[in-house]
Amino acid sequence: MDRETLERFRAGDETAFKAVYQRYGGAVYTVALSILGDRGLAADATQITFVKAWRAASTYDPEREIAPWIYAIARRTAIDIYRKQKPTAELTEIDDATAGPGLEDVWEAFEVRMALDSISDDEREVIRLSHFEGLSHPEIAERLGIPVGTVKSRSHRAHKHLLELLEHLLET
């Protein structure tokens, strides 16, 4: 994200805030979902995270990356929601350093989300239907109203692009 947008975000500019939300909303949702394990709670945590980020925007240092700042807010928010959802008797002590996924897992989820956001809408939709809804190529073709061959070629291109974008994760 460019520095000008981050400066405007810090100053409370609504357009800049929307740009930050569009860029990081999906990744924040991924962080919340990995901690909470419930889509509805993760959606709530995402909204709360961005409300908190909006209120704290003046404390953000635009010289630093915004992603870790937002993910820290998201993680704390999700943990707070998790704690509120569990009856007190069932709660074990949650240590912020060990609760939920580790930083590496969150970072990998973020990298995958950013890679998905960078491929074409058509390719992303085929990936979503295949991997997240578990549809077969013929089912995807029917849902999208396109030939099965088109689904297969989009799937192949999408996987190829994702492999190129995420290859650095395999090296670690």
Whether residue 9 contacts residue 66, with contact meaning beta carbons closer than 8 Å, is answered with yes
Q: Pick 133 or 47 by higher pLDDT.
A: 47
Same-domain status, 92 and 138: no
Is 67 buried (19+), middle (13-18) or exposed (0-12) by CB count in 10 A? middle
**89 has a pLDDT exceeding 70:** no
Cβ count near 141 (within 10 Å) = 19
Distance of CA 78 to the CA centre of its chain: 13
At 88, which CATH number?
Answer: 1.10.1740.10
* 15-32 pLDDT per residue, tens: 999 999 999 999 899 989
The per-residue pLDDT for 111 is 77
Determine the average pLDDT of the residues in 125-141.
89
The per-residue pLDDT for 63 is 84
Encoding tokens for residue 61? 């240092």
| 34 occurs within a structural domain | yes
Whether residue 161 contacts residue 119, with contact meaning beta carbons closer than 8 Å, is answered with yes
Same-domain status, 88 and 138: no
- Count of domains observed in the chain: 2
> What is the span of the domain harbouring residue 68?
1-101
At 127, which CATH number?
Answer: 1.10.10.10
d(CA 144, CA 157): 17
Rounded to a whole number, what is the distance in angstroms from the first to the last CA of the chain?
A: 25
| 111 occurs within a structural domain | no
**108 has a pLDDT exceeding 80:** no
The per-residue pLDDT for 110 is 73
pLDDT band, residue 112 (cuts 50/70/90)? confident
d(CA 141, CA 65): 40
* Dihedral angle over CA of 109, 112, 113, 115, nearest 10: 160
Same-domain status, 50 and 3: yes
* 33-75 pLDDT per residue, tens: 888 888 999 999 999 999 999 999 988 888 888 888 998 899 9
Altogether, the residues listed in the chain come to a count of: 172
